[in-house]
Amino acid sequence: MSAKKIKNSKLTIDDIAKLAGVSKATVSYVINDKPGVSQELRCKIKKIIEDCNYVPNSAARGLAGEKTHFIGLVIPDVSDMFYANIIRGVEKTSNKYNYLLNLYTTHGEEEKEQRVIKLINSSMVDGLIIMAYYIKDNFIDFLKNEGIPFVFIDYPTKDEEIYSVVVDNEAGAFEAAEYLISLGHQKIAFLEGHEAAWDSRARFIGFLKALTVNSIEFNPLLVEKGDFTREGGYKATKKLLEKGEEFTAIFASNDQMAIGAVRAIKEKGLKVPDNISIIGFDNIEASSIIDPPLTTVMQPIYEIGKKATEILIRLINEEKIEQKKFMLKTKLIKRNSCKALN
Amino acid sequence: MSAKKIKNSKLTIDDIAKLAGVSKATVSYVINDKPGVSQELRCKIKKIIEDCNYVPNSAARGLAGEKTHFIGLVIPDVSDMFYANIIRGVEKTSNKYNYLLNLYTTHGEEEKEQRVIKLINSSMVDGLIIMAYYIKDNFIDFLKNEGIPFVFIDYPTKDEEIYSVVVDNEAGAFEAAEYLISLGHQKIAFLEGHEAAWDSRARFIGFLKALTVNSIEFNPLLVEKGDFTREGGYKATKKLLEKGEEFTAIFASNDQMAIGAVRAIKEKGLKVPDNISIIGFDNIEASSIIDPPLTTVMQPIYEIGKKATEILIRLINEEKIEQKKFMLKTKLIKRNSCKALN
DNA sequence: CTGAAAGCGCTTACAG
DNA sequence: CTGAAAGCGCTTACAG
C-alpha cells in the first residue's frame, strides 16, 4: 500500500480535481483552508488528497503568489555547536508548522547580502530568520522594502520596526558575577571577547553592575582583552598572571577563553579552583569535560531558534504581534571551577 | 497577495528583454548558456543582467522544468559536530557551484520518507544528498523511479546503481590497531558501538584484521558492547575491569566511548596511558581537551560533504560518472593516550 | 540567429 | 457554493 502511495507523487491539482469531480479552484480552496466550499465536499476532497498522498508543488505555489512553506535561515556558519543548535531549533519548529528550511551560511560578510537577495528574489521563501555579526542599514532597508517578513536573532538593533530575539547576556553575566561575589570573591579579573562584539560588552556591563550593586570597586588593571578563542584566553591570563595584580577569580567572556585560562593557571603551578576560581559563558560541550568541569552560563540556544521561528510563522500568517523584541534568559550552571574564599 | 505585488520591485526576464531590445526567449538562452545567440548579443545581455542585478526566479524555473539550483540535504540531525561538518562541506561546495541548500533533518525515522517525498514533489531541488542510519529498499526504489539524481553519504549499500561516498572505517581501524600493536600491545580490549551500526562493525573488522596480520590471537572475552555514548563506554570498561581478564590497551569504537573508558579507568585508580592505553575514533573536539588528550582516528567529514556535492552536481549536469562508490581515507591522530609497553 | 506562443502547477478575482 | 479564465516568471519547441 505504501508503495502505491509513493508512486502517486507526481499528481497535480488537476488530478485531484478530476478524482473529486470538481474544478481545481475548489481543490485549491480546500488545500489553503479558504472559505467557499461546503464542509462535506471539503472532507471528501481532503480524504482524496490524503489517500493519494498528493502534495502541492511549492514552486507553482510560490509563482502563483501564495506561500511556499519554505523558511530561509541565514547564519554565519554551521560547524559550531552554537549555530548548530539554533538551526535545530528553527528546523524542528518549522517542521512542526509544516515549513521546510532553506539554509544560507554567510561565512565571509561580503557576499552575504547578494545571497540573501538571490534567495528573496527566487520567490522561494515566505520569510527569513537572520543571524549575523553585523548587518548594514541599507540591507535592512532592502529587507523592509521587499515586504518579506523577517526576524533577527541575537542582533541588538534599536530599530523599532524589527522583530528580534536575543539572549539577555547582561543579566546572565550579572548573575554569574553575583555568584562569584557570594563566594567571597572581590578581586575578580575579566577576560573580554572581541572588542566589537556586543555580547561581550553586554557581559562586561552585567559584570560591572554586579560589582557596583555589591559596592566592590572596579579595578581596570584586572581587565584583559581576548578574542573569544582558547588561545586568546590563555594569553590574556598569562598577561594577567605576570602583571602581579592580585585576583582570586576570573570571569571569562566565554568558555573557550575560560578553558585557555585554566591552562595558563595550571602551567603557572596554580590550581583551579583552589587558588583561582573561573567562570565561563556559553556552556559548550568542552566545559563539562575539562578538569575541573567549568561553572558557566548556559544560553537558551535551542529556544532562540524556536522562538524566532514561531514569531516568523505568525508574521507570515499575517498575525499582528505587538511585542517586537524578545529577550531570553540564561541559566547559571554550577560545576567545580569556583570555590568559596574561606 | 496584493501587498506583495505592490512592493514587487523585482525585475523579470521581460524587463531584461525590453532593456536589451530582444525577446525573453533570447534572454533565457543567455541565462542558460544555450546556443542560438550571437556572441555579441550574448555579451550585451549579460552586461545588462549584471548591471540590473537581475536574478531569475527559481520557482518559475523549477516550474518550467529547468534546474532550480537548489540541492536537498537529508540528514539525521544538526546538533552534532559530525553532521554539522558534513553540512558545512555540502554548503560550501554547493555555493561554489552556485547552488543553494535545502536542509531536511530526519530525527525520527518514521516521517523521513514523507518529508523527502514532499521535497521532491515540490519541484524545488535538482538533486538530493541523503544521510541516514537505515534506508528502506522501497524508498530507494522510489528515488530511482523519480529520476532525480541522488548521492548517499556514509551508507554502505551494495546496489550498484547508487552513488555513495563513505569513509573507510575498516582501514582506519586497521591502522589504529596496528599502531597499538607497534607499541607492543597484544592484549587489546575492544569496545563496540551500536550493534546494528555498520561503521562500528567495519571498525571491529579492521581491528580483527590487524590482529590476524600480526599473528595475535583474538580473545572474545576482551570485547564489550556499548552504544557509542560516553556512559556506554564507561559501563563497558567497568565490566571489563571487573572481569579480571588482563589487557593493556582499549580500542574504543568512538571517542565518546573512549572518554567514558578514561573515566572508568581513573576511578579504578589506574592511569592512562601508564597502565592502560586508549585509542578512540572520530576526533571529536572533546578528545583534544580531556586529560590525557586522546589518540584517535579522524574522519574526513568535511570532505565527505564536499565529495558528495561534487558528484551530485555533475550528475545534475548529466555528466557520466563511471565510478559509483567513493571511499575516503581516515587519518590517525597521535596524542597522549597511548604508550609503548615498557 | 530571433520571436511568438504554449505550457509548467498553482491561486484568485470574477461571474454564475 | 462552484467553475472558467487569467496570470505568476520562466523554458522550449517551433516557425520564420
Q: From the CA of A24, how many Å to the C1' of D5? A: 12
Q: From the CA of B61, how many Å to the C1' of C12? A: 22
> What is chain B's length?
342
When pLDDT is cut at 50, 70 and 90, the band that residue A1 belongs to is very low
Among A124, A263, A303, most B C-beta atoms within 10 A, so best to mutate, is A124
What is the model's pLDDT at position B110?
61
Q: Please say which residue of B33, B56, B79 terminates a domain.
A: B56
Structural domain containing residue A283: 169-299
Domain at A32, CATH number: 1.10.260.40
Q: From the CA of A44, how many Å to the C1' of D6? A: 28
Distance from C-alpha of A118 to C-alpha of B78, rounded to nearest angstrom = 25
Residues B102 and B44 in one domain: no
Distance from C-alpha of A92 to C-alpha of A89, rounded to nearest angstrom = 5
Residues B265 and B119 in one domain: no
Residue type at position B58: S
Spatial CA neighbour of B106 closest among B124, B141, B130: B130
Distance from C-alpha of A87 to C-alpha of A126, rounded to nearest angstrom = 17
Nearest CA in chain B to A286: B286
| The three cell numbers locating residue A190 | 575579566
B338 domain residue, yes or no: no
Pairwise pLDDT comparison (A143 vs B209), residue with the higher score: B209
* Spatial contact of B226 and B191, defined as CB atoms under 8 Å apart: yes
**At a CB cut-off of 8 Å and minimum separation 6, what does B128 contact?**
B71, B72, B73, B74, B116, B119, B120, B143, B148, B149, B150, B151, B312
Domain at B207, CATH number: 3.40.50.2300
Among B90, B94, B122, most A C-beta atoms within 10 A, so best to mutate, is B122
B64 domain residue, yes or no: no
Nucleotide nearest to B40 (CA to C1'): C1
H/E stretch holding B258: helix B255-267
Give residue for cell 537577495.
A117
Residues A178 and A252 in one domain: yes
Cα B46 to Cα A123, B36, B39, B129: the distances in Å are 22, 15, 10, 32
What is the C-alpha R_g of chain A?
A: 26
- Measuring alpha carbon to C1', the residue closest to nucleotide C4 is B23
Mean pLDDT of A295-307: 96
Residues B188 and B283 in one domain: yes
Q: Which residue from B6, B57, B145 is facing A122, i.e. has the nearest CB? A: B57
H/E stretch holding B143: helix B137-146
Give the range among A46-55, A146-155, A169-178, B41-50 with minimum mean pLDDT: A46-55
For chain A, percent of residues with pLDDT exceeding 90: 56
Q: Please say which residue of A12, A30, A56 terminates a domain.
A: A56
**At a CB cut-off of 8 Å and minimum separation 6, what does A200 contact?**
A192, A193, A194, A228, A253, A254
Q: CB–CB of A80 and B84 under 8 A?
A: yes
Mean pLDDT of A322-332: 96
Residues B280 and B269 in one domain: yes
Residues A127 and A229 in one domain: no
List protein-proximal bases of chain C (any atom < 7 A from a CB): 1-5, 7-13
What is the model's pLDDT at position A65?
73
Calculate how close chain A gets to B151, using CA atoms only, in Å.
Answer: 19
B266 domain residue, yes or no: yes
Q: CB–CB of A58 and B122 under 8 A?
A: yes
> pLDDT (tens digit, 9 = 90+) per residue, A34-77?
888 888 889 999 998 888 878 888 888 888 877 788 899 999 88
Cα A175 to Cα A189, A204, A287, A297, A300: the distances in Å are 16, 12, 18, 9, 15
Largest separation between any pair of C-alpha atoms in chain A: 87
What is the model's pLDDT at position A186?
97
Distance from C-alpha of B177 to C-alpha of B204, rounded to nearest angstrom = 10
| The three cell numbers locating residue A264 | 595558563
**Any atom of strand C under 7 A from CB of A123?**
no
> pLDDT (tens digit, 9 = 90+) per residue, A94-115?
988 888 888 888 876 666 677 7
pLDDT(A8) > 50? no
Q: In what order do the strands lie in the sheet with A223-224?
A: A223-224, A188-191, A249-252, A277-279
What is the model's pLDDT at position B217?
96
Distance from C-alpha of A84 to C-alpha of B85, rounded to nearest angstrom = 10
B308 domain residue, yes or no: yes
Based on the number of CB atoms within 10 Å of its own CB, is A50 exposed (0-12), middle (13-18) or buried (19 or more)?
exposed
Q: CB–CB of A81 and B85 under 8 A?
A: no
Distance from C-alpha of A32 to C-alpha of B39, rounded to nearest angstrom = 47
- Measuring alpha carbon to C1', the residue closest to nucleotide C11 is A64
Among A58, A68, A138, most B C-beta atoms within 10 A, so best to mutate, is A58
Residues B93 and B6 in one domain: no
Count CB-CB contacts under 10 A for residue B84.
Answer: 25
Distance from C-alpha of A63 to C-alpha of A57, rounded to nearest angstrom = 10
Q: CB–CB of B107 and A92 under 8 A?
A: yes
What is the model's pLDDT at position A5?
33
In order along its 342 residues, chain B shows pLDDT tens digits of 333 332 335 788 888 888 888 888 899 999 888 888 888 889 999 998 888 878 888 888 888 877 788 899 999 888 888 898 999 999 999 988 888 888 888 876 666 677 777 777 777 788 999 998 778 888 888 888 778 899 999 988 889 899 999 999 999 999 999 999 999 999 999 999 988 788 999 999 999 999 999 999 999 999 999 999 999 999 999 999 999 999 999 999 999 999 999 999 999 999 999 999 999 999 998 898 888 999 999 999 999 999 999 999 999 988 889 999 999 999 999 999 999 997
Distance from C-alpha of B272 to C-alpha of A204, rounded to nearest angstrom = 40
Q: From the CA of A117, how many Å to the C1' of C7? A: 28
> pLDDT (tens digit, 9 = 90+) per residue, A241-280?
999 999 999 999 999 999 999 999 999 999 999 999 999 9
* Spatial contact of B226 and B287, defined as CB atoms under 8 Å apart: no
Q: Which residue from A7, A68, A84 is facing B84, i.e. has the nearest CB? A: A84
List protein-proximal bases of chain D (any atom < 7 A from a CB): 1-5, 7-13
B107 domain residue, yes or no: yes
A338 domain residue, yes or no: no
Residues whose CB falls within 7 A of nucleic chain D?
Answer: A 21-26, 29, 35-39, 41, 60, 63-65, 123; B 8, 10, 12-14, 24-25, 27-29, 31-32, 34, 56-57, 60-61, 63-66
| The three cell numbers locating residue B29 | 538562452
Residues A21 and A88 in one domain: no
Residues A177 and A270 in one domain: yes
| Pairing of β A70-75 and β A331-333 | unpaired
Q: CB–CB of B60 and A65 under 8 A?
A: no
When divided into structural domains, chain B yields a total of 3
pLDDT(A4) > 80? no
Residues B319 and B215 in one domain: no
Residues B99 and B204 in one domain: no
Helix, strand, coil percentages (3-state) for chain A, rounded to 5, are 45, 15, 40
Residues B287 and B189 in one domain: yes
Spatial CA neighbour of B278 closest among B190, B338, B339: B338
Count CB-CB contacts under 10 A for residue A257.
Answer: 33
Mean predicted lDDT score pLDDT of chain A: 89
What is the model's pLDDT at position B9?
55
pLDDT(A330) > 80? yes
**Any atom of strand C under 7 A from CB of B37?**
yes
Q: What is the DSSP string of B264-330?
A: HHHHTT--TTTT-EEE-SB--THHHHSSSPPBEEE--HHHHHHHHHHHHHHHHTT---S--EEEE--
